[in-house]
Amino acid sequence: MLGDGSAVPPKTAARTLRRFYAYRLSWEAKFDSAIWIIYLQSRGYSLAEIGLAESAFHLAPVLLEVPSGALADLIGRRWTLMISGLLTATGVALLWLAPSLPVVMLALFLSGASYSFASGSDQAYLYDALGGVPEGHARYTGIVGRLLGAAYVVGAAATWLGAALSEVSYGIPFALGIGAGLGGAWLAAGLVEAPRQRATAGVHRSIRTHAAEARGVLAQRPDVAMVLLLSGLFWTASTVAHLYLQAALTARGLSNSTIGLVAGISLLLNAAGAALLGRVARRGRFARQFAGVTAVAGLGLSGMAAEPILLAIGAYLVAQIAYGLAEPLLIAWFNRQIPSDQRATILSLESWIFSVVMIGVFPVAGTMAERLGWATLYLACGAVSLALGAAVLVAAPRRSQTGRV
């Protein structure tokens, strides 16, 4: 690895970092993100069927999150990043064809698998690569922040552009998505990474020992286990609301380009929320901070039930600022609480919990919207967010003696 005493020359290290930044931004170019549900509806699929397909997406991380991480450690991060790009392109292509529900489910499963192969590999590659340049790991936090901001901007632009072009032809955003996936695979394949040491027997022993140590940490830190669970549920409510936004706004008469604009603005507000974290983080304990964020998010989602469309959209966008605050807030808290040696393993549980819950919740949410209406669904999502914040406040006094929550 570049950061572990690699002999990679400084110029090569700088060049491969630039290539990685290009890869990371190409990953955010999801041109179909604001219109794929609308597209499937136009092909005759019901919301219940679309919800079932989305469940297939979340099945992939449940099955592949840990194996793909192990593969990245064994064969190198650039190869799993390349596989991720190829899976993205294949999933988008199959979703575009959408000849039957099983094919749509396979398309979403492959898209979920692409997330699993990139998850962790990108952060690990960047962290190690920065060890080979001046100031090394001290630059990691600042670079990640700037890269995240740039990624939100690219994501917002791709979201709006794809939605606008879909009014000309749905084939255009899907073709651009395929191109972005293939381009990302090409960029990843060209990354420079030092040869990896392989000690299979030792790896197997360390994995067993490591898993036992991680379980021991959670047994000693029930507050961490509780926040992991609450965080997974919090992101479930957020994702249900976000993914069904396109169908909900379509039902209210908005055009694809307008929906793409709303989705793009929401990403920019996520970035704005993350930028505000420095001020929020200095105010009070984590429990109160998280409860405040969930309250704003819950009220914002509930506001989507309002009859005036501008009020509903405004409420939804306010919630996006809260979600922008929540992501780095949770990451910072977890990193403070979890020992470095078990950090990646324990943090992966948050994603795993989220995926497990989404498998069941997403199709149920689609059925709820079809039978009870969009207002009921968004009120339910808002209520879940508010309940999670209340749960943290109730549990916090029990942990006050440790000072951890």
In DSSP notation, 63-126 reads: HHHHHHHHHHHHH-HHHHHHHHHHHHHHHHHHHHH--SHHHHHHHHHHHHHHHHHHTTHHHHHH
pTM listed for this prediction: 0.74
3-state secondary structure (DSSP) of residue 189: helix
Q: Tell me the residue range of the domain where 296 lies.
A: 220-405
Q: What is the domain count for the chain? A: 2
Domain co-membership, 169 together with 301:
no
Q: What integer pLDDT is reported at residue 64 of this predicted model?
A: 84
43 shares its domain with 179: yes
Domain boundary among 176, 193, 210: 193
Torsion-angle region of 8 (φ positive above 0: left; ψ -120 to 50: alpha; else: beta): beta
Residue 46 lies in a domain: yes
Domain of 404, CATH number, reads 1.20.1250.20
Angle between helices 286-302 and 374-399 (to 10 degrees): 170
Same domain, 148 and 231: no
Give the residue from 308, 282, 280 showing the smallest Cα distance to 295. 280
User: Does residue 201 belong to any structural domain of this protein?
Assistant: no
In a domain, 208, yes or no: no
- Domain shared by 228 and 294, yes or no: yes
pLDDT at 398: 54
On whether residue 209 sits in a domain, the answer given is no
260, 330: one domain? yes
* Kind and range of the H or E run holding 354: helix 343-372
Task: Going residue by residue through the chain, which has 405 residues, state the pLDDT in tens, using 9 for 90 and above.
Answer: 454 444 455 566 778 889 999 999 999 999 999 899 999 999 999 988 998 898 899 899 888 876 776 677 677 788 989 999 999 999 999 999 999 999 999 999 999 999 888 876 787 787 777 764 445 444 665 676 677 778 888 988 999 999 999 999 999 999 999 999 999 999 999 998 766 554 444 445 455 565 566 677 778 888 888 888 888 899 999 999 988 998 899 999 999 999 999 988 998 888 887 777 656 555 667 888 888 899 999 999 999 999 999 999 999 999 998 988 887 778 767 767 776 555 556 666 777 788 888 888 888 898 899 899 999 999 999 999 999 988 887 776 555 444 456
Which amino acid is it at 39? Y
